[in-house]
Structure 1
Amino acid sequence: MMSLLRRGNKSAGIAAIVNLIISLIKGAAFMLTGNVAMFAETMHSLGDAANQLFVFVGSALSKKRPNDRYPNGFGRVVNLVLLFAVIIVGIMSYEAIKEGIHHILQPTESKGIWISISVLTAAVILEAFVMFKAMKEVIHETNAEAKGLSIIPKSFANLSKAKPATKLVFMEDLVATLGGVIAIIGILLSFYVGFHAAEGIASVIIGVMMFYVVGRVFLDNAKGVLGEADDELEAKIAAFIFTNEDIKDIKTLFAMKEGEDYHIEMKLEIDPSISVSRAINIKKSIEQHIQNMPGVTDVIIEFEEDDQIATWEKVNSTPIG
């Protein structure tokens, strides 16, 4: 079991530990100050910690080897775990919004401003550190090239191609960092301007941002559970296949994303005049090339005799290297 857990998403594991520590510190600060923006941030960090723990365990379990009962493996486990995890974030979001609205309607002056500001500033720095680690993970998973500060824009540009667990950690830490800044602004407005409802407004904004993460994660992982096809990968594979002159057409081609991995299936039409040994060599060559792609776990290829009817359009495709 421990060897399996070591294969869990590292960004999620680090984020879970950091957010648990942050949530405990924020919770203590809320008890001392009664600050509603601090309450929202406590709920946020606690939800993120629990969420990211589920993500870490789920990403590890998804790497379990197939067995007789589950011959297709456990790749989609991470999607199922993430769907469950968003429920936790949703509950925390609701609590943050509810408390924020209550404070807007009945604003009260909180105390211990510098305790709140100090805790939130430290939390923002830690969250930013974890987010930068997630950015580097995005760069690594998508095979992008970036160093130093160029990692920041590159990670945003390639986020959609990252693994589900890494995407979740990235979005949660982005919202957590922005939420900390918003909470600080709300507290400062309350203390220096006397606009006490600002803390409640900050709490509502933080809750709404959390709901945004819930929505994004739910939609992304619902697709993963159902087995979403990757159109871009299919086009690249098709372009490579057509570099072989003996392949006359592609009858079907599916690049299905199962959790963090890809399952590739295809039915190809070949020149009926080629020998069996030549067909076997072509199949092995295609399998080997695609198996070397990051994330691909298995490739299934079937051959049919060319029916002289074009099925696959050879457009907008770039061969894979």
Structure 2
Amino acid sequence: MSANGGTKAIVAALLANVGIAVTKFIAFLLSGSSSMLAEAVHSVADSGNQGLLLLGGKRAKRAATPEHPFGYGRERYIYAFIVSIVLFSIGGLFALYEAWHKFHDPHGITEWQWLPVAVLLAAIMMESFSFRTAIKESNHIRGNQSWVRFIRRAKAPELPVVLLEDFGALVGLVFALFGVAMTLITGDGEWDAAGTAMIGILLVVIAVVLAVETKSLLLGEGAEASDLAAIERAVTDGPEVERIIHMKTLYLGPEELMVAAKIAVPEWESAHDLARGINVVEARIRAAVPIARVIYLEPDVYSAAAAEAGTGAAADTAVGQDASGETAQRSGG
């Protein structure tokens, strides 16, 4: 659901930004407003970003290979991180440069004076439609989370990226409208420069937020607390497992979770019975958390003494140590 919703929101944002970019460039060429130029470049950067997100989603669907045995799901995070770099460099830094240039050479808007206002109002309407689509699609998976928590904790990067981009675009349009309107009222081009600077600062802040959140996904995040609790219940909710010795989870992609655990099991009469019990536990995990698609369970025998020592090892740890020590001695000899 998140992937389909993300694609729909991306396409809506792409169509809106392409149309907006064209009208903003026309308004800039006719009026000479620096705010319009900054907003036009911002829309071009956003359009490129949506193209990157669509490309990342497509490449992430490739099948696993021997070189990449866990597939390409995390490629969506890479492209989302590239989006933050593009937004920072092309959108934010260009707007700040244009503001600096306009402050040093301020001039009013003398031709087609009200065209920028008309274009900005039309752009606000189109961006509002795109933002509404992103909000609607996000609500399908957001649940009761606040918007801040949703953006920080979402594992599928597309919707948070589009949400922040659309929000930044709407606020940026308001800044541009303020700068242009004040320039028209006062005849002072410094207001236009101020609006451009506000747009640049806004884009830099949004880009930094995106970079920080996407970096966390690239480094690797574990399951949410609710999913982690559900997995733990699924593992221990049966006679096949006595307890979890230790467990780790990792998102291989937005819709694929890996679960690796060492579990304490009772004594089984045969290896066949042990394997059957592990299969039952794996089925319970997938039923509880469907995105847990890659599961590795290592059966072991729990040792309270080892647990108190902080090793989390099983009762036969000493045997393993003896064997490794003996091997090392033979190698030394």
For Structure 1 versus Structure 2, the TM-score category normalised by the shorter chain is 0.7 to 0.9
Q: Hey, what does 2:103 align to over in structure 1?
A: 104
Task: Please tell me whether residue 82 in structure 1 is matched to residue 80 in structure 2.
Answer: yes
Q: Hey, what does 1:318 align to over in structure 2?
A: none
Deviation at 1:236, TM superposition (A): 4.2
Contact 2:88 2:208 in 1 (8 A): no
Q: Percent identity?
A: 22
- Deviation per CA, 1:233-264: give whole Å up to 9, x if none: 43442344344465333233222123323332
Deviation at 1:7, TM superposition (A): 10
1:229-308 mapped onto 2 (5 Å cutoff)? 229-230=222-223, 232=225, 233-244=227-238, 247-274=241-268, 279-292=274-287, 293=289, 295-308=291-304
2:283 and 2:233 map into 1 onto residues whose CA distance is 16
Q: Give the structure with higher Rg (CA).
A: 2
Contact 1:62 1:78 in 2 (8 A): yes
Deviation at 1:34, TM superposition (A): 0.6
> Which deviates the most, 11-20 or 41-50?
11-20
Q: Hey, what does 1:63 align to over in structure 2?
A: 61
- Helix, strand or coil for the counterpart of 2:296? strand
1:265 and 1:174 map into 2 onto residues whose CA distance is 36
TM-aligned CA distance change 1:236 to 1:203, over 3 Å: farther
1:261 and 1:62 map into 2 onto residues whose CA distance is 11
TM-aligned CA distance change 1:178 to 1:264, over 3 Å: same
- Helix, strand or coil for the counterpart of 2:72? coil
For residue 265 of structure 1, what is the amino acid of its counterpart?
Answer: V
Task: State the superposition RMSD in angstroms.
Answer: 2.9
For residue 126 of structure 1, what is the amino acid of its counterpart?
Answer: M
1:92-171 mapped onto 2 (5 Å cutoff)? 92=90, 93-111=92-110, 112-142=112-142, 144=143, 155-162=147-154, 163-171=156-164
1:1-12 mapped onto 2 (5 Å cutoff)? 9-12=7-10
2:194 and 2:233 map into 1 onto residues whose CA distance is 52
For residue 106 of structure 1, what is the amino acid of its counterpart?
Answer: D
TM-aligned CA distance change 1:193 to 1:89, over 3 Å: same
TM-aligned CA distance change 1:181 to 1:274, over 3 Å: same
For residue 78 of structure 2, what is the amino acid of its counterpart?
Answer: L
2:198 and 2:284 map into 1 onto residues whose CA distance is 48
1:70 and 1:138 map into 2 onto residues whose CA distance is 30
- TM-score in terms of structure 2 length: 0.80
- Helix, strand or coil for the counterpart of 2:267? coil
Structure 1 residues not aligned, in runs of 5+ = 146-152, 313-321
1:160-239 mapped onto 2 (5 Å cutoff)? 160-162=152-154, 163-230=156-223, 232=225, 233-239=227-233
1:47 and 1:303 map into 2 onto residues whose CA distance is 51
TM-aligned CA distance change 1:8 to 1:156, over 3 Å: closer
2:210 and 2:6 map into 1 onto residues whose CA distance is 18
2:136 and 2:298 map into 1 onto residues whose CA distance is 39
Aligned equivalent of 2:32, options 34, 39, 51: 34
For residue 225 of structure 1, what is the amino acid of its counterpart?
Answer: L
How many aligned residue pairs are there? 301
1:14 and 1:248 map into 2 onto residues whose CA distance is 51
2:208 and 2:259 map into 1 onto residues whose CA distance is 30
- Helix, strand or coil for the counterpart of 1:250? strand
Deviation at 1:48, TM superposition (A): 0.4
- Deviation per CA, 1:149-192: give whole Å up to 9, x if none: xxxx9545533333111111111111001111111111111222
- Helix, strand or coil for the counterpart of 1:247? coil
TM-aligned CA distance change 1:101 to 1:236, over 3 Å: farther
- Helix, strand or coil for the counterpart of 2:69? coil
- Helix, strand or coil for the counterpart of 2:48? helix
Contact 1:234 1:253 in 2 (8 A): no
1:154 and 1:304 map into 2 onto residues whose CA distance is 41
> Which deviates the most, 236-245 or 68-77?
236-245
